[in-house]
Amino acid sequence: MVKERERKGKTPALRKQQDNNSWTTPPNIESVHKCRTKKRKGVQDKTPRKKIRVSVTTRASTTCQDHIKRKMTEEVEGCSTPTKKKKGLLQQVQTKETSSSMDNSSGDIRKRNLKRKVDDFEESPMKKKTKKEQVTSQRAKFQKKYTELHLLGEGGFGSVFAGYRQKDKLPVAIKHIPKENVFLKHKDENGRKMALEVAIMLKLRNLTTSSSGQLALVSLLDWYELEEELVLVMERPMPSEDLFVYLDEHEGCLNEEEAKIILKQLVEATIQLQDANIFHRDIKVENVLIKSSSEGPQAYLIDFGLSCFDRGRKFALLRGTRDHVPPEFYRLKKYTAGPTTVWQLGVLLFEILHNKMFKTISFLTNKLKINKRLSKNCQDLMTKCLKEQPKERPTLEELLSHPWFS
Question: What is 1-22 written as a DSSP string?
Answer: -------BTB-HHHHT------
- CA-nearest of 349, 233, 245, 350 to 291 is 245
Looking at this protein, which amino acid is placed at residue 369?
A: K
Q: 109-162, pLDDT tens digit by residue?
A: 444 444 444 344 344 444 445 767 778 888 999 999 999 999 998 876 789 999
Helix (H, G, I), strand (E, B) or coil at 158: coil
Is 120 within the bounds of a domain? Answer: no
Same domain, 192 and 46: no
- CA-nearest of 50, 53, 55 to 361 is 50
Is 74 within the bounds of a domain? Answer: no
The residue among 191, 215, 235 that closes a domain is: 235
Host domain of residue 279: 17-56+238-405
- Between vectors from CA 153 to CA 150 and to CA 155, what angle results, nearest 5°? 140
Is 86 within the bounds of a domain? Answer: no
- Residues with Cβ within 8 Å of 50's Cβ and at least 6 positions away in sequence, in order, are 2, 20, 21, 23, 35, 37, 322, 323
Strand order in 288-291's β-sheet?
A: 240-242, 288-291, 298-301
The residue among 206, 235, 264 that closes a domain is: 235
Query: pLDDT > 90: what percent of the chain?
Result: 51
- pLDDT value, residue 113: 47
Is 175 within the bounds of a domain? Answer: yes
Same domain, 246 and 295: yes
Same domain, 353 and 387: yes
Same domain, 274 and 220: no
Give the H/E segment covering residue 105.
Answer: helix 89-145
Taking each helix axis from N to C end, the angle separating 256-275 and 337-354, rounded to the nearest 10 degrees, works out to: 160
Q: 235-257, pLDDT tens digit by residue?
A: 999 999 999 999 999 989 999 99
Same domain, 147 and 49: no
Measured between alpha carbons, how far apart are the two ends of the chain, in Å? Answer: 33
DSSP state of 179: G
Helix (H, G, I), strand (E, B) or coil at 349: helix
Taking each helix axis from N to C end, the angle separating 337-354 and 376-385, rounded to the nearest 10 degrees, works out to: 140
CB neighbours (10 Å) of residue 351?
25
Task: Please say whether the beta carbons of 378 and 406 come within 8 A.
Answer: no
Q: What amino acid positions are annotated as catalytic residues?
A: 282
Is 246 within the bounds of a domain? Answer: yes
| Total residues found in the chain within this entry | 406
pLDDT one digit per residue (tens) for the chain, 406 residues: 434 444 344 444 334 433 333 333 344 443 333 343 455 555 554 444 444 444 433 333 343 344 434 443 333 333 333 334 334 434 443 444 444 444 444 455 444 444 444 344 344 444 445 767 778 888 999 999 999 999 998 876 789 999 999 999 999 999 999 988 887 678 777 777 889 999 999 998 877 655 545 678 888 999 998 988 999 999 999 999 999 999 999 989 999 999 999 999 999 999 999 999 999 999 999 999 999 888 889 999 999 989 999 888 899 998 889 999 999 999 999 999 999 999 999 999 999 999 999 999 999 999 999 999 999 999 999 999 999 999 999 999 999 999 999 8
Q: From CA 285, how far away is CA 349, in angstroms rounded?
A: 9
Looking at this protein, which amino acid is placed at residue 311?
A: R
Q: Domain with 152 in it: what CATH number?
A: 3.30.200.20
Same domain, 188 and 282: no
Same domain, 243 and 260: yes
Same domain, 201 and 322: no
What phi and psi values does residue 26 have, to the nearest 5 degrees? -70, 170
Same domain, 214 and 290: no
Residues paired with residue 195 on neighbouring β-strands, in sequence order:
185
DSSP state of 217: B
Is 324 within the bounds of a domain? Answer: yes
Same domain, 394 and 248: yes
Is 341 within the bounds of a domain? Answer: yes
- pLDDT value, residue 293: 86
Is 12 within the bounds of a domain? Answer: no
Same domain, 246 and 221: no
Q: From CA 33, how far away is CA 259, in angstroms rounded?
A: 30
- Residues with Cβ within 8 Å of 94's Cβ and at least 6 positions away in sequence, in order, are none
- CA-nearest of 304, 272, 273, 275 to 287 is 304
Q: From CA 371, how far away is CA 374, in angstroms rounded?
A: 6
Domain count along the chain:
2
17, burial (CB in 10 Å: exposed 0-12, middle 13-18, buried 19+):
middle
Helices (H), 146-195: none
Task: Please say whether the beta carbons of 346 and 386 come within 8 A.
Answer: yes
Q: Domain with 274 in it: what CATH number?
A: 1.10.510.10
Same domain, 260 and 321: yes
- pLDDT value, residue 181: 84
The residue among 165, 200, 235 that closes a domain is: 235
